[in-house]
Amino acid sequence: MKIGSIEVTPVAAESMGVRSLSTFIKTPDVSILLDPSAALAMRMSLEPHPQEYIALYQALIEILEYSERADIITISHYHYDHVRPSLENYRYNFSSPENFQATFRDKRIIAKDNRDNINPSQRRRGYYFEKDVGDIAKSISWADGETHQIGDTTIRFTEAIPHGPEGIFLGFVISTLIEYDGQKVLFAPDVQGPVSRNTLSLFLSLAPDFLLVGGPPIYINKFSKKDRRNALFSATTLATSTNVMVIDHHLQRSKEWEKWLAPVMRAARAAENRVLTAAEVRGQDNRCLEAQRIQLYEIDPPSMDFIAWTDATEKYKMTEPPPIPEIDYSKLGGTS
């Protein structure tokens, strides 16, 4: 989708079958790949269905292709659905040292500061990311609060903002505003609506023409009624003030995502704006596979070999990829 001269391409997201919000943005001056990763997870006491693993494989192939085209790679935070780990994990990430190197080699990286405004888990992951990428990337610098001018393109990173409600244990993330010729695109992953009113105020002050925002995790029982109300208020407010809003990620892990989104879409239509999913921006049907996992196991039973793999130990599943004939793991830079 083009916003003036800015081209926005969602690469992977829940509406496209995986946990991700990876996005490729191109202006006449620079190409940027934001959050180049995707992942899966255990849900409903079930490992991901083979269709989900195939979607993960396809997403990671695209991420590698867009990485090759990118001048800059940005990292909003250090959850593995947003940044590739260098460790071997075929259970949920299809990650490996080879895949890590293929993603980041010779790239300019601008990442969330791994020292300040960060929780212990992400600080540890950020430390290892900086260490592992140091020998292969062209450069790495911290994003928090920084602005970069490349030709006529301005890339502005926010200060660290909450990964959901204020004070949440999940820590902080960075949002990215890209501006060219008066048009502004805001990439805002994992703000959960946003839940935080301070984050909402920030986004309104930035006044993007196109907003790609992480929706709320309504599938989690501990996500309180208050947080749900705040997320809905924020999403509705942003939908009325933004020409195009893409809301995806945590929201589409729930089968109720369309019901939750309905009042937001009504508000957008009343303001003559649009609300879309990442898949819809790409011209694809929504494929919220994680939300449909139980149904997938019922209507498309996996092979006995796959079921045996799911019953294996965690250690085995980390190092041995799931037996799915449609996947050529060698194309990911990992095992053949």
Span 204-225, pLDDT tens digits: 999 999 999 999 999 999 999 9
- CA 171, distance to chain mean position in Å, is 16
Residue 139 in tokens = 């450069």
Q: Write out the residue range of the structural domain in which residue 210 sits.
A: 2-319
The angle at the Cα of 12, spanning 193 to 115, to the nearest 5 degrees, equals 65
Mean pLDDT of 280-293: 98
pLDDT at position 168 is 75
Secondary structure of residue 22 in the 3-state scheme: coil
Secondary structure of residue 28 in the 3-state scheme: coil
Residue 215 in tokens = 């929706």
CATH number for the domain spanning 56: value is 3.60.15.10
pLDDT at position 257 is 98
Cβ-contact 11, 22 below 8 angstroms: yes
- CA proximity to 265, closest of 289, 288, 246: 246
Give 128's contacts (C-beta < 8 A, 6+ positions apart): 85, 86
Number of residues that this document lists for the chain: 336
**Position 170 confidence tier, pLDDT thresholds 50, 70, 90:** confident
Q: CA 116, CA 112: separation in Å to the nearest integer?
A: 9
Amino acid at 127: Y
**24-46 confidence digits (pLDDT tens):** 999 999 999 999 999 999 999 99
- CA 28, distance to chain mean position in Å, is 24
Residue 296 belongs to some domain of the structure: yes
Lowest mean pLDDT among 120-129, 273-282, 325-334: 325-334
Residue 174 belongs to some domain of the structure: yes
Secondary structure of residue 163 in the 3-state scheme: coil
Taking 50 as the threshold, does the pLDDT of residue 313 lie above it? yes
- CA 305, distance to chain mean position in Å, is 31
pLDDT at position 28 is 99
**Position 76 confidence tier, pLDDT thresholds 50, 70, 90:** very high
pLDDT at position 336 is 38
- CA proximity to 72, closest of 100, 20, 32: 32
Domain tally, the chain: 1
Taking 70 as the threshold, does the pLDDT of residue 334 lie above it? no
Residue 219 in tokens = 């599938």
Residue 91 in tokens = 């259970």
Residue 261 belongs to some domain of the structure: yes
Residue 336 belongs to some domain of the structure: no
**Position 333 confidence tier, pLDDT thresholds 50, 70, 90:** confident
Residue 251 in tokens = 């929201």
Residue 334 belongs to some domain of the structure: no
Q: Tokens 């949920």 — which residue?
A: 92
Residue 331 belongs to some domain of the structure: no
- CA proximity to 214, closest of 243, 266, 176: 176
Residue 144 in tokens = 């928090």
In the chain, the N- to C-terminal Cα span, in Å, equals: 36
pLDDT at position 169 is 78
Average pLDDT score over the chain: 97
Mean pLDDT of 87-104: 96
Secondary structure of residue 152 in the 3-state scheme: coil
Residue 332 belongs to some domain of the structure: no
pLDDT at position 84 is 94
Residue 324 belongs to some domain of the structure: no
Taking 80 as the threshold, does the pLDDT of residue 61 lie above it? yes
b/e map of 185-213 (b: 16 or more CB within 10 Å)? bbbbbbbbbbbbeebbebbeebebbbbbb
pLDDT at position 335 is 44
**Position 56 confidence tier, pLDDT thresholds 50, 70, 90:** very high
pLDDT at position 87 is 94
Percent of the chain with pLDDT over 70: 99
Cis peptide leading into residue 208 (ω within 30°): no
